Structure 1
Amino acid sequence: MEATNAIKPLLGDYYQVDDTPILKAMWRDTKECIYVEKDEGSQGRGVYWYKNKL
């Protein structure tokens, strides 16, 4: 929890939680993620979103 509490203020609105077990989440993302796209509003912070539709 210490790392989580430290990163929350840095991520702000970008902080999200997914309680899916890690192996299941990795499998899901491998099957569903088609490409990633830069968040135009991130102002150079290196924020990307995965897209599952073309």
Structure 2
Amino acid sequence: MATKKVVKKVSKKGVKKGDAYKCTVCGLAVSVDEVCGCMDVCDIICCEKPMKAKK
């Protein structure tokens, strides 16, 4: 008989209101005013690369 493996759920860090991102290529900075509510994690893309969160 096959047994089902228990797998831990992976927590996804989503985009939150007020988060700031900066492009490492051109330097464009954006801030999140509204969250889209997608089930998956959304990437903010600029210059064909995902933007990095500003600290």
TM-score (norm 1): 0.22
Flag the structure with higher strand content: 2
TM-score (norm 2): 0.22
